[in-house]
Amino acid sequence: MKHFTYPNHPTGHGYMSEKTQRDYIASAIAKNLLPANAHRVAEIVSLSASNNVSKPVQFWQLYSVLGQGPIVRIVESFYERVFADEEWFTSVFARVGGIGHHINTQASMWIDVMGGGPYYHGADFRLNFHHTHNAIQLMNDKGGERWSQLMLDTLEASAKDMTDDPRIRTSINTFLSHFMTKYAEDFAFENRSFFGETNPPFKQPINFLKMSQEAIEALTENEIKDALKDRGVDVSNYAGKDELVNKALMG
């Protein structure tokens, strides 16, 4: 099992990070991906990724792992694809500015939301203005689908920038899916984007000492195993649920 010692990089809230965090948490609670008290769970709202590989990395924790360099390189790779694409797509970006302009603004937004501090001046107002004025020609089924395909191609080619923590790609997928869902709702187009697996449901810590025997027995075998693993127990020494329950009851 891999061991990590995050944070790798100093973190801070930006102009967009806190609101984006609140919006995502509310949405994830509604989908049963996060617990109802997620706003008060320290390891969820923290800007530093958990070192426990069984816990997902929230996308506002990505900067604590990646820092600035890998984020900029992923964005740079994406816009290289954008500016090499078909005229109907590329021209919308080119009218706003050159490739350097788009790399700087997009990377600033990513860093800001991912916990790197205040980089994206103007926050949601600036982002909304860009999409309703500069990029409105692409805020539709065709544009959304093409943007998503180019981003998927970028992610597939950017594994080296995502470290050896398998949770990072999943967290980036979650980040992108959250924003594409928002854009599809705001601009009334079909969200056909698929970037890959997104963060699994967050598992609340299980404290056997505060549970009755009946409550422990009601857990699934895998839930008991995972809780024991989190406490450093080698579950391979216990055969079947009954033995696992007995171990859990021992505290």
Output the domain CATH number for residue 183: 1.10.490.10
User: Is residue 230 located within the same domain as residue 200?
Assistant: no
Length of the chain: 251
Residue 29 or residue 215, greater confidence = 29
| DSSP H helices in 97-190 | 99-113, 123-129, 141-156, 167-187
User: Is residue 238 located within the same domain as residue 147?
Assistant: no
Euclidean distance between the first and final Cα of the chain, in Å?
24
Q: Poorest-confidence range of 102-106, 146-150, 220-224?
A: 220-224
How far is residue 123 from each of residues 45, 120, 128, 137, 180, measured CA to CA in Å?
19, 6, 9, 22, 17
User: What is the per-residue pLDDT across 129-171, written as a single tens digit (0 to 9) for each?
Assistant: 999 999 999 999 999 999 999 999 999 999 999 999 999 999 9
User: Is residue 34 located within the same domain as residue 53?
Assistant: yes
Instruction: Report pTM.
Output: 0.84
User: Is residue 232 located within the same domain as residue 178?
Assistant: no
User: Is residue 238 located within the same domain as residue 179?
Assistant: no
User: Is residue 219 located within the same domain as residue 113?
Assistant: no
pLDDT computed for residue 69 by the predictor:
98
Give residue 66's identity as a one-letter amino acid code: L
User: Is residue 213 located within the same domain as residue 136?
Assistant: no
Q: What angle do CA 43, 45, 49 make, to 5 degrees?
A: 55
Six-digit token string for 147: 């943007």
Residue 1 or residue 72, greater confidence = 72
User: Is residue 164 located within the same domain as residue 228?
Assistant: no
Give the separation between CA 118 and CA 19, rounded to whole angstroms: 13
Residue 119 or residue 227, greater confidence = 119
132: Cβ contacts below 8 Å, ≥ 6 apart:
139
User: Is residue 128 located within the same domain as residue 172?
Assistant: yes
Total number of domains in the chain: 2
User: Is residue 199 located within the same domain as residue 230?
Assistant: no
User: Is residue 161 located within the same domain as residue 237?
Assistant: no
Give the separation between CA 239 and CA 251, rounded to whole angstroms: 18
State which residues form the domain around 159.
Answer: 1-204
